[in-house]
Structure 1
Amino acid sequence: MTNDPTAHAGPGTLPDPARLRRHVEFLATGPRSRLRAPAAMERAETYVRDELSGAGWLVRRRPFDARWQLGSTDRHGHRALALKPRLHRRLRGANLIASLPGSGAGPVVVVGAHLDSVSGSPGADDNASGVAVVLETARLLAMAPVPPRVVLAVLDMEELGLIGARQAARELDRDAGVRGMICLESVGYFSDAPGTQRLPVGFEKLFPEASAATRADGHRGDFTLVVHRRSSSAAAETWRRAAAAAPTALPGLLLRDPRPDGPLGLLIGLAVPPANHLGRSDHAPFWNRGIPALMLTDTANFRNPHYHRSTDVPETLDYDRLASVAAATAVTAVSWPDAGPGPPVR
């Protein structure tokens, strides 16, 4: 039996670039933030909830009240998360968690993306693109003949230091158990021009094979980076193959984080700064709890000149390739493989 959720559906069931664009255009009219732009955040949350419910998903709003959280500032700028630390006394937010009726009990695969943006940026790529893929994945999975044990998570306060994802990882792991997690982080910006893909400082020494592959391609930003660990190597390969087979073939560059899952991996990252870039989104709290996870990304500030700026607008994204991201994500979510040796580091 095929694991493609569109295989049993009728016409129009492939990922729809026009639908993805509509989602991004609605969400990215301006900054979205529980603290700095609460009305826009509420508008975006209502839209997401209505879209998920309309696709047949049961949506729960899970508020949280987090105190004394070490995180980051959400001020706009072209700097990386790790360079903007801040201690938050109290943060009140909410995640949206959705499941399909009849999906049954047992551990789930989580597909997640953060809804908030930094101040001063409409956040089309970061991260309306990721939320749009979650919504399109919802539509595709709802057509599966048997409802898959997949949970969709639209997460709050990523830009403040993965606050919503920390709450979601703990709650979902406690409630049903989590087999794996797919994080969509800035997945819509691509460029075929040479020299558009940059690498973090120290990256070539730490990841020589991935660096060599990027160099051989002329440093073009024409791929999705699939960040994984040993525990999610097989899932990363599943995603890569599905993206290559999508209507618009999309290369996936696999990059294995050598750190182990769990608290030890977090501590090692403090000693090896280049590795911290691999944990800069909502998959990291799942890794820290020992849960296999992937991060899908266009590499954000290492490719996109509009990252965290007012120019991160819907017109800059590639919706055909974004549809391929959605197709591969849906396939991987319903066929999450058991941990295994997987592919080599790339």
Structure 2
Amino acid sequence: MSTDYAALVETLSAQADPARLLRDVTTLAGEPRSRRRAPDGMARAEAYVKAELLAAGWQAQSRPFVRRWQFGVTDHRGRTPLPLRVRLYPRLRGANIVAELPGAAAAPRVVLGAHLDTVDASPGADDNASGVAVVLEAARLLARLPVRPNITLVLFDMEELGLVGARAAARELSATGQVEGMICVESVGFYADGPDTQALPAGFGLLFRDVADQVRAARHRGDFTLVVHRRSSRVAAEFWRRAAARSTPALPSLALCDPRPDGPLGVLAGLAVPPLNNLGRSDHGAFWDRRIPALMLTDSANFRNPHYHQPTDTPATLDYERLATVTAATAATAVFWSQAGARENPLANRGGHC
């Protein structure tokens, strides 16, 4: 990490405020929020997000979309196996919130996003008020920088129905041909320092032996952030990990490289090897499908958090000091990716898998 970026990480770490993150999560997670099941809660969440972005100096607007005959999943609470959750929706009408920073530098665009909706009957503090709070706090920090980076913020609708809003946003943004990368913040607030608090998906040890060995060596402690990436976003993932380690408090992380290529071939590989689909379960997957480099930050959701998709997913269960570190590292990575361009970094040209 260069001296300039090291200084940026230190500045952002000092400014990221756990109290503001707590306020954001508490406000958002006071009730379920869903376009279909809890429209009033969704409307209040949207109004809060737009007001906070406006106060931070961003221009935010709703971008409606309509999807017809859309295959997706049910948003019932609980942990029903994926094959039993598949649904065909004749018509879905939703809206993403998209924000731009006036006066941004002319540079490659980086998308920073998180989904705003929840499953039925869950207030969704970790899934995903934690991710939305990171985006809001990053927005406040980024607006204070002397040179404003070219970053687009997106709060996605209908993630819980199968990345519906993200697919609409990825299609719209990819049409510009100027998206350098995307950072997805998905369930990032739950940490458990005790042993045997981190589970692994079935078949994970066979597919990702190195990462599984690291989890086992740490006695399955759920005290880290998982950084899921592909080869196209490997440099950005490594930058995020180094930024999190330099922040206060320092946050350990594990990098997990999805071996699939971006684009349609990656989708086909997921059909051939279903366990790989765990790595594309959030909004970044829609950008991978459009050949846009992306990474996902997560606490691993249901593989750690016992409150996942339950009414007990409340603000009191989250760690706001570590959430501030996630924010600082994420904001710094968005700046790095936009200004430096991870594809131009010498690390991106090294050989080997991922």
Q: TM-score range by the shorter chain?
A: over 0.9
Please report the TM-score for the alignment, with normalisation by the length of structure 1.
0.95
**Structure-2 residue corresponding to 1:212:** 213
Identity of aligned residues (%): 61
**Structure-2 residue corresponding to 1:25:** 26
Cα offset, 1:177, TM superposition: 2.1
Q: Deviations over 1:52-89 (max 9, x none)?
A: 01000011210111111111110000246565111111
Do structure 1's residue 2 and structure 2's residue 9 form an aligned pair?
A: no
Paired residue total: 345
Judge conservation of contact 1:195–1:218 (CA < 8 Å) in 2.
yes
Q: Deviations over 1:137-181 (max 9, x none)?
A: 001100111110101100100000000000111111113621000
Please give the alpha-carbon distance, in whole angstroms, between the structure 2 residues aligned to 1:250 and 1:77: 29
Judge conservation of contact 1:73–1:85 (CA < 8 Å) in 2.
yes
**Structure-1 residue corresponding to 2:227:** 226
Greater share of residues in helix: 2
Q: Deviations over 1:261-310 (max 9, x none)?
A: 00100110011111000000000010001010000000000000000001
Cα offset, 1:186, TM superposition: 0.4
**Residue identity in the other structure for 1:35:** R
Cα offset, 1:338, TM superposition: 2.2
Please give the alpha-carbon distance, in whole angstroms, between the structure 2 residues aligned to 1:6 and 1:48: 26
Please give the alpha-carbon distance, in whole angstroms, between the structure 2 residues aligned to 1:53 and 1:24: 18
Please report the TM-score for the alignment, with normalisation by the length of structure 2.
0.93
**Structure-2 residue corresponding to 1:269:** 270
DSSP 3-state at the match of 2:197: coil
Do structure 1's residue 338 and structure 2's residue 342 form an aligned pair?
A: yes
| 1:189-338 paired onto structure 2 within 5 Å | 189-336=190-337, 337-338=341-342
Please give the alpha-carbon distance, in whole angstroms, between the structure 2 residues aligned to 1:7 and 1:193: 28
Q: 1:115 to 1:80 in 2, by over 3 A?
A: farther
DSSP 3-state at the match of 1:183: strand
| 1:124-139 paired onto structure 2 within 5 Å | 124-139=125-140
Please give the alpha-carbon distance, in whole angstroms, between the structure 1 residues aligned to 2:267 and 2:351: 23
Q: 1:234 to 1:37 in 2, by over 3 A?
A: same
Q: 1:272 to 1:325 in 2, by over 3 A?
A: same
DSSP 3-state at the match of 1:335: helix
| 1:50-89 paired onto structure 2 within 5 Å | 50-79=51-80, 83-89=84-90
Please give the alpha-carbon distance, in whole angstroms, between the structure 2 residues aligned to 1:260 and 1:25: 38
Q: Deviations over 1:106-145 (max 9, x none)?
A: 5310000000000010000000000000000001100111
**Residue identity in the other structure for 1:338:** A
Q: 1:97 to 1:119 in 2, by over 3 A?
A: same
Please give the alpha-carbon distance, in whole angstroms, between the structure 1 residues aligned to 2:155 and 2:170: 12
DSSP 3-state at the match of 2:4: coil
What residue ranges of structure 2 are gaps of 5+ in the alignment? none
Please give the alpha-carbon distance, in whole angstroms, between the structure 1 residues aligned to 2:38 and 2:112: 25
Q: 1:85 to 1:4 in 2, by over 3 A?
A: farther
